[in-house]
Every structure is written in structure tokens, then in C-alpha cells.
Amino acid sequence: MEMFVLLSALLCIQTAVSSPISTAAQAQGFLERYGYLHKENESHSTAEVKSAIREFQWLSQLPVTGGLDRVTLEKMRSPRCGVQDAGSHNAWGQRASSIFIGQHLRKKRYTQTGEKWHKRHLTYRIMNWPRNLSPSQVNVAVKTAFQLWSNVSGLIFQELQHGPADIRLAFFEGEHNDGTGNAFDGPGGALAHAFFPFRGEAHFDMSERWTLSSLKGHNLFLVTAHEIGHTLGLVHSPVRHALMSPYYKKMGSNSLLSWDDITAVQQLYGKPAGDSVQHLTGRALRWAMRDWQISQDPKGGSLTPHYCHGFFDAVTMDVNGTVLVFQGHHFWTVSNGRVSDALPLQMRWPQLSSAIEAAASPHSTANSTSLKDGGFGVTQALFWTLDSQ
């Protein structure tokens, strides 16, 4: 009762708010669920409550007032990741300090759990699929989400179809035997949650409307990329445009990973081979995802590009913003909503002798094949092949 009166006194609302979180008791439940208040405490002091609200406002990029005003309550009811925010403030402070103090701090582990993977080659497996996307669409979205992180770090990801994998992705509804407070709450609210190493699991709410476009529903690629960050050991970020910000945002036009996302993953796993960091922009991927979104013709066939009906080996982007998709001995270009026909790799890179596992630009390194190419504004194309391991 004391807690309810205290939170009620902090409400600064002029008119009634119709939302899942509109009362002091609901706000208390939210703050407890996401790690701002300890559930085991039966009562909280005024200082504890105000501190929890201020911490939430800081991480959410809101004015830090310590009061439950309208914008604070609206933020609480916004779609978000179900992982707790506890530890994010300290982790970000250490991460930011390492940039200014020097390289000697970069090897430390700045996560909530103090864990990271102690290998650079990780496997993943998609256990099931949502109702409104096909397996091939989910595969391409998940593959690209993992590629987003491997493009800026020393990690390599490999999909498995069967057997145990380091990271497992699955869709569930409601309670799914996942621990206290992890039951999904239907459309909106918590969209997904994940576990830090070494459990390596990411769970998605089956009841959400998952999409590969930003028109309706929630973009599966963006949410998957965020949850993968947690499976790698990253906590939430207070940077407004960071992928690891706890709240869902539609895809923008700029780089999908902020400086804070890249700093966080590189502190754990280092930079890509040859420091060849590859940025993917929302502007380029939006066009590709419109092609990935399922579209049925009158005969029931799919109108999506051929590479979406199977698995691709790598995806990267040239300096002109053209997305290059590689599958087997062929590649496609995706630019301004147009997808090319399948082209043989040797047409542009005649020295390439086999299918590739990864691609980037523009720097070359050991254990890779670096080939000159002027066809797409790429000064060098960098490939990792099966025989270069």
C-alpha cells in the first residue's frame, strides 16, 4: 500500500491515459520486471522509486525528472525487448570511457553477466517459424541479421539445419516454461527476449505480426538483429539510434548499427579480419526487404526473388549502396527496388575458383581472395572460400 501511494504521488498526468500501463501499480510492475526495482523488496523508499524512474528515463532518452509523467508512461507501454535493462548504465559508462581513455580498456567485458563466447565461429539454428512468414523469408532475415554483426566484428556465423547449435531461435506464445516474468504478453509489449552466453537462445512472440517491411507489424530482421546482440553478450544501449536500444524502432535510412553497437561488440570479439568493417544501411536493405516480403501471384506462386527461396552464403554492400547477395556460384544485385538476374561469380571475378562463405569490401587480408572489380564501384572485393580455411 505504501508503494502504491508513493508512486501515485509521483504521477504528473493531467488527463486519464488509456493504456496497459496507466496506474501506479502497473508502473511498479514494469519497473520491477525490467530490473529497476527489486521484486523481493515488499516496500521501496521514495529515493529508491525516484532513482528507478530516473534510470528508466535516462536509458529511454527522456527528460530525467524522476516523475511518472505522460511521456514516461507512454514509453513504458511502447513495444520493446523483454530483456531487463539492469546493468546497462554502468556498461555504457565503461564503454564510453574506453573510447576516451585508451585501448587498454577495450579487452574488458562490459556486459551484465560477465560472460562472452570464447570462440569466434558460432553456429545457429532456427527451430520454428511464425505464422505469417515463410521459412525462406525467415531464413533470409535471420541470415542477414547475423551478417550485420559479423560485418563489424571478428565473428563468423554458420546456420545448422539439425542437431545442437550455439544459438537457437524459436517462436512461442504466452507462457513457455522460460522462467518468471518471461511469458509473452500478446501483440505489443515485449516482442522478444534472449539470453546471454552461454545459453544462447532468442525467443520471439508468435502472436506478433512479423513482417519484412516497415508498413505493418514488426520487422523480424530488426528484432532478430537486436536479440542476437544479447546472445553475444551485449546489454541495452542509451544511444537513441542504437540497434541495442531497448525499444523497437522502424528501419531508418542510415547505418543500422550505431557507433555504440559497434564499440560494444568489438570490445568483446575484436574487429573483422583486416579491420574491414562493413556498414549496411537501412536505405539499401529496405529495397531488398520489399523483395523479400512474400507476395502471392494468382496461381499461388511466390513472386519473391529466386535467392529468397533457399539459403544464401553472404550479403554485403558496395560503396554505391548496391546490395550484393551471394549464393553458391551466383550472385544478385539489389538496388533501388530492382533485383538483377542470377549472375555467375566468374563473370565479375574470373579468378574465383569456388563458392564463397563470406564477402566484404574494401580491404584484403590473409586467408582470403582479394580481386579487383570495377563493375559496382568496389575497388576491391574480399571473399572467404571453403578452400581458404
Cell numbers found for residue 306: 529466386
Half-sphere exposure of 292 (CA within 13 A, CB side): 32
The catalytic position among 32, 55, 208, 227 is 227
Q: Rg of the Cα trace of the chain?
A: 22
Cell numbers 563470406: residue? 358
How far, in Å, CA of 237 to CA of 70, rounded?
23
Task: List CB contacts of 49: < 8 A, sequence separation 6 or more.
Answer: 3, 6, 7, 10, 31, 37
- Beta strand 156-159 with 218-219: parallel, antiparallel or unpaired? unpaired
CB 332, CB 314: distance < 8 Å: no
CB 230, CB 151: distance < 8 Å: no
- Strand, coil or helix: what is 295? coil
* Cα 225-254-121 angle, rounded to 5 deg: 35
Cell numbers found for residue 242: 542504437
How far, in Å, CA of 109 to CA of 117, rounded?
11
How far, in Å, CA of 155 to CA of 165, rounded?
15
**Whether 227 is catalytic:** yes
Could you tell me where the beta strands, DSSP code E, fall in 227-355?
A: 314-317, 323-327, 330-335, 338-339, 343-344
Element housing 348 (H / E): helix 345-348
Residues with a catalytic annotation lie at 227
